[in-house]
Amino acid sequence: MKILVPVKRVLDFNLKPRVKADGSGVDLANVKQSMNPFDEIAVEEAIRLKEKGVATEIVAISIGEAKAQDTLRTALAMGADRAILVTHDGVAEPLAVAKILKAIADEEQPGLIILGKQAIDDDSNQTGQMLAALLGWAQGTFASKVEVSGEAVNVTREVDGGLETVALKLPAIITTDLRLNEPRYASLPNIMKAKAKPLTQKSPADYGVDMTPRHETLNVSEPPKRQAGIKVASVDELVAKLKALGVSA
């Protein structure tokens, strides 16, 4: 089967975001941007399914500015076979992204689409579920284990109370949680080889999708700062402080 893996270029997870002074957003000029960590897990899972002989082809997709090509090259270097870049400058909301992905899925007819459960920039946690709705497919969100057997996939999900396993009819949507796998690093030879892998450029108009945002960002600000407090020198002092707070056995 074919697997589609949408990936997003976001502020590198090691960097602390800086809010712009004019309140218009987070400053992304001249800062390192990388693949969303949950999407790396999605790419890795697709590659493992290919290594097991379950998948035959992996197509990485990104919707965003031209530089998202770097993110797609990373996916190709990890092991994806080809890539589609849908170039769009400006905000790409989850609903619009899901509509583009639906159009691509209609063309490509994949057996699975694996997405990160959320992007660490807008923390929306929507695209996979929306795509499942638009395609009329089953969804296994927050996956920590994926087992494909025949025409179905069993997905173990990390839920608030523990773990839950659901059986989904294929084709299906999976969104990844942190403990699904540990993504590999691309080796230098594979990074070189990725440069020759096919990358198709498209636009939202090619898929007939209107990118006009539904949300208007009125203001982005820093969260209220917590003041660092005091240090106590001993457990006895800590016990006294805790008792003053009403915390004791």
Partner 1 sequence: MKTLVLVEHDNASVKDATLHTVTAAAKLGEVHLLVAGSGCAAVADAAAKIASVAKVHLAEDASLANQLPENVAPLVVALMADHDAFLASATTTGKNIAPRVAALLDVMQISDIIALDGPNSFTRPIYAGNAIAKVKTSDKKLVITVRGTAFDKAATEGGSATIETVSGGMAESGLASFVSAELAISERPELTGAKVIVSGGRGLGSGDNYRELIDPLADKLGAAVGASRAAVDAGYVPNDYQVGQTGKIVAPDVYIAIGISGAIQHLAGMKDSKTIIAINKDEDAPIFQVADIGLVADLFQAVPELTQKL
Range 20-39, binding partner 1 (CB under 8 A): 26
Among 58, 100, 117, 183, binds partner 1 (CB under 8 A): 117
| Binding flag, residue 97, partner 1 (CB under 8 A) | no
d(CA 141, CA 198): 30
Closest CA to 185 of 2, 66, 47, 9: 47
Minimum CB–partner distance for residue 188 and partner 1 (Å): 27
Write the CB contacts of 169 (distance below 8 Å, at least 6 apart in sequence): 138, 151, 152
- Which residues from 141-200 bind partner 1, rule CB under 8 A? 141-142, 144, 154, 157-169, 172, 177-179
52: left (phi over 0), alpha (psi -120 to 50) or beta: alpha
Q: Among the candidate windows 67-75, 82-90, 103-111, 117-125, which touches partner 1 by CB under 8 A?
A: 117-125
CB 134 within 8 A of CB 102: yes
Contact characters 209-248, partner 1, x per CB under 8 A: ----xxxxxxxxxxx--x-xxxxx-xxxxxx-xxx-x-xx
CB 232 within 8 A of CB 238: yes
| Binding flag, residue 79, partner 1 (CB under 8 A) | no
Minimum CB–partner distance for residue 191 and partner 1 (Å): 27
Minimum CB–partner distance for residue 108 and partner 1 (Å): 19
Residue environment code for 101-116, b if the CB has 16+ CB neighbours within 10 A, otherwise e: bbbbbeebebbbbbbb
Minimum CB–partner distance for residue 82 and partner 1 (Å): 27
Minimum CB–partner distance for residue 163 and partner 1 (Å): 5
